[in-house]
Amino acid sequence: MDDADQNGHIEVSQFLRNKQLEAGSPTAAARMLRGKNWPACQPSFDVTDKQDMMNAVLALLIKKKVFSYPLVQEEVQYVFGGLGMPAVYFQHCTSFEIAQHVHGLISAKHYDISTSNPSENIDFVLNEGGNMVSFVSAIGCPAHSSAAAVQRRAEERVADHLTLCMTQNSSFSLAYMASQGAAFPGAVSRLGIYRVETGCFSLSDLSEDESRLEVLSPPTNMLEASDPAIMGEYQTAMRAVVSSRNGVVRVVEGEPGCFVVIFATALTVGRHYLPELSQAMRVVGLAPGHFYLNNFANGAIICSMFFADATHHKVEQLKTAILYSVHLKNTPAKSGLVYKSVMQSQISHECGVYLMAGVKFVYAFFPKEQYAREYTGVHKVLQQDPSAQRKLETLYKLCIKDLLSTERIYGLVHRHPELAWCFYEDFRKIAMGLAKPTYNEELGSKIDSSCSDPQDRQILRMFLTFNESIVLTNFFKKSECPGAFAFRLNPSVVLKNRPESLYPAMPYGIYLVSGNDFMGFHTRFRDVARGGIRLILSREQVSYERNLATLFDECYNLALTQQAKNKDIPEGGSKGVILPLHAWPSGKNGGNVLAGMSVQSPTSMKSCFTRYLGALLDCMLPEQSGIYSGHLQGKSEMLFFGPDENTANFMDLGAKLAGARGYPYWKALTTGKSVKLGGVPHDTYGMTTASVHTYVLELLRELGEDESQITKFQTGGPDGDLGSNEILVSKDRTVGIVDGSGVLYDPAGLNREELRRLATARLTVQHFDTSFLGDGGFMVAITESNVILPDGSKWHTGAELRDNFHLTHYAAADLFVPCGGRPNAVNTDNVKCLFLADGITPKFRMVVEGANLFLSDAAREVLENAGVHLFKDASTNKGGVNSSSLEVMAALALDSEDHASLMCYDPKTSSLAPEFYSLYVQQILATIVENAKLEFRAIWKCNQEQRLSKVESTRMISRKINEMQDSIMEHFETMQDHERNYLVDYVLGQALPPVLINRIGVQGIKDHVPRTYIAAVVGSWVASHFIYKHGVDAGEVAFFLFLQALLPEVKREASPEGPEGTNRKSSVASISSVVTVPELATPRGDAMWTEDKAGADLPKSWQLVED
């Protein structure tokens, strides 16, 4: 199975996993183990050996000459007989150790001769030399007795010892053994012994994928003497933990009433789970005869608990409590308050985990703007000044974040445990389908009567909003506890009455993903949507808190931007964000192999990504996950993801994880994959550059200029995707390039052949051969200091010059193509530097944006008003999303065999791609160029004829295409079958690469591709081509004629309402009558579109009315 995973054989891996699960299921394991009488919770111990050991113990104690012979003999006989210690006690402990235990018991018995029940005072530690320590305590005491406190104190001592071992990177092997009989004859309490053996791990360089116990176990470990069946269960648990990074619980039943519960997890940074496991067993009322707890070289821990008299129900309760305990945290003044409530049995483990997720929801969605109403008013006043509005929004977010803290929310739920439990019960009923998602007014009244502070009431009421918004969640996943919890939220509930200035459009779906060491969101603006997953790193606590405060807003705004960019592809815009903790919660323990050596290490990021994606997959596979999906009303969740900051290397992993889970569209789940999985790398084939440079060529064509005669300035160098490909495809005279390594400049134009050499080799500008530079040319590396340029200007460092070179007078040319750089590198404060000394003449006549967000909107407006031909990133660099969309289409349309042979290859073993793949890539490029030309001409027409700025034209075109596509998709299923089928067949034949159509035909695509995705293909192609051809001011009549031109051979159908030939209407009219063609005017205020009752034979008209 490991080989299958490593070599990308997803189907083989899935088959083997199913077989492993089948073989390792409790029923199969029980059959195997019952044949050996295992697990026997009281295994036998040879009578002769036991007698010999007892004699040896007696001799050792007599030799001490501390207690009398009769007393020693009596105690030894009781320990070996009436005490009822499990057989493993005599197997693991030496005669010397048992003698020490007996000696301690006699001492405890005589410590306070006046105590009526001396067994309650048993609490001592025996440091038996070297690497062995025993903790002996009374157990099984009444819950509220003084002896119960003794037992908990002993647990705390053991826990502290294990924590010390972890801090010192030592191995530990804990064996807990409990007596069946009373600690002393006639006593109430029993005896519990914790035996801890410590050691060291000999491995220093260990792969995070290593799962073999013989490699991961320390040289000396109690597991060495374990039954092979136990070791087999441990090995299965370890494989599951390594592959999923989740907590795992396996239950094996042996003889009637006899169970072994095996728990394993990789989330062990600063945690060994002894307190949580002990509390879980107390809560459900199970007491093990013995259990083992071991850590391993990769950081995982495995615990096996043996119960001699248990029921299925109790064991299942224990399994649930243990798995949810993995997600509890103990951060002081925050989650520590919930943790304390769980450990004190005030609330359940599940309730504690729910509250932690609920706190994240409240913190993210609490309407803070209600406490700063002046902000809304000022924002409206600044409606005509977008730059000032954005500054106000930034200031607002900085100030308002102090209004609500997670400490305050945690404090409130801690002070009201009865409300907290009610919140959880309300959530449980909704999540499991026992109640509809509604706002619980009865609970709201309880909140009002319990809290006097109005803001406290509103904070607590947000938990009811959280419950009301639940559409789907994996919280109650049946097969296992998730690695993270995903909550599919109803946007109309979550964002109800929130200001349009903050959230201008309503998303289709929102996910909150809550992990033990991360928080995340996923937002999409259409059912079928795609966008990158961004993993945000925080340098310190302050930046983490700032990122946390704006996490949802960042996700929302990125998804909204993606929605505009995805205008001519089937998928709408989406974005996922993952925010890990800035540091491990435990200061001294710096991580492990599985979790990562730091919270922001590649391994840790991979773990967060794996669990984030796994939680979303649970919701995409509700039947497999055993979660209730009735609130979706028959719809299914189908998400697509792409690479973004810090996740580019995880796209193959994401697809493989989905394949291993049996997700039918796993090949299409992620884009940006390697070619081994059918990916189409943007940089290799210059996909994004294809659209950017098409805009350059189309602009020059309109202006009647020759590319070879113009000068160009470029940010983003020959080592990057956009920068290198821009150099390779262009023919201009490039005068300056800025990249991460420094600045390169030549007023006469940089040597083209030398630039091509760097771009081909992906080398930075610091590798440029300076002998090619002419008069006035220079190359300055960021490592240089005290830099003096030919004009005499001085710079402290080359890095300072690099960051500001685009603002110097050197950065001047006919064309500026930013292919890299920081967001808002040109903004309202410095845009004046892009003008000559007169302050009127721009230094660039043309700007075609390659990099995202290099210029702020306000800076764009200034440049366009000065006469610069400027084309916005959302239009120019869409080649990447076009390419990814067609990569998804191939993965959806081709069956597994075709996809593997036609779209996948390994460059290490095959120098040539499959012929189909090469043709498909070339046709993707042709589609990108065609789409870029179409949109350019639409923007140009809008600018020239309607005098809209090019930037505003981009926004208008994106809005109109998206609204029209939404209308087409909304009415897709209401079309008559023959009309819909013909439209689908025609559009698929036009929209998709011919090589794909030739391979499987239109029918093959319809057979394999989900129906919702096909509807999206039709909607996006029709909407984009209509708007590109007829412009943003086109109306319903133009759309009618557009469809008529597309479908000239559609025959007029007889109306079923009358005789043939009477009351007829064409299919074109029928289709066009249900599609909304938005007005050009942008709705103001709270305006909404409503349908006019028009005649069925003509397209329906729409009017703008005030709500």
Residue 779: phi and psi, rounded to 5, are: -135, 125
The pLDDT, as a whole number, for residue 398 is 66
Mean pLDDT for the chain overall: 85
Statement: residue 1084 has pLDDT above 80? no
Q: State the pairing for strand pair 1088-1091/1102-1105.
A: antiparallel
For 175, 284, 337, 455, 516, the CA distances from 346, given in Å and listed in that order, are 29, 14, 11, 25, 21
Tokens of 52: 């010999």
- CA angle 525–530–535, rounded 5-degree value: 100
At 604-636, the pLDDT tens digits run 899 899 999 999 999 999 999 999 999 999 899
- Nearest CA to 816 out of 715, 937, 926, 729 is that of 715
pLDDT in tens, 738-774: 999 999 999 999 999 999 999 999 999 999 999 999 9
**Tens digits of per-residue pLDDT, 539-580?**
788 888 888 988 999 899 889 989 988 988 999 999 999 999
- Tokens linked to 799: 């890095």
pLDDT at 442: 96
Q: Give the pLDDT confidence score for residue 107 in this predicted structure.
A: 84
Query: Encoding tokens for residue 144?
Result: 């509220």
Where helices occur in 65-209 by DSSP H, the ranges are 69-80, 87-92, 95-111, 146-167
Asked whether the predicted pLDDT for residue 1035 surpasses 80, the reply is yes
575 given a catalytic annotation: yes
**1013 contacts: CB under 8 Å, gap ≥ 6:** 528, 570, 638, 892
Could you identify the residue written with the tokens 């295992």?
38
Instruction: Determine the pLDDT at residue 1075.
Output: 67
Burial profile 271-301: b = 16 or more Cβ within 10 angstroms, e = fewer: bbbbbbbbbbbbbbebbbbbbbbbbbbbbbb
- Please compute the mean of the pLDDT values over residues 677-682 and round it to a whole number: 94
Q: What is the mean pLDDT of residues 114-125?
A: 64
Catalytic residue among 109, 334, 575, 843: 575
More confident residue, 118 or 325: 325
User: Is 90 exceeded by the pLDDT of residue 1048?
Assistant: no
Sheet with 778-781, edge to edge strand ranges: 778-781, 742-745, 733-739, 711-715, 813-818, 844-848, 869-871
Whether pTM > 0.75 for this model: the answer is: yes
At 232, give phi and psi (nearest 5°). -65, -40
Most confident of 79-83, 979-983, 1000-1004: 1000-1004
For the stretch 548-557, pLDDT in tens is 988 999 899 8
The CA distance from 201 to 605, in Å, is: 25
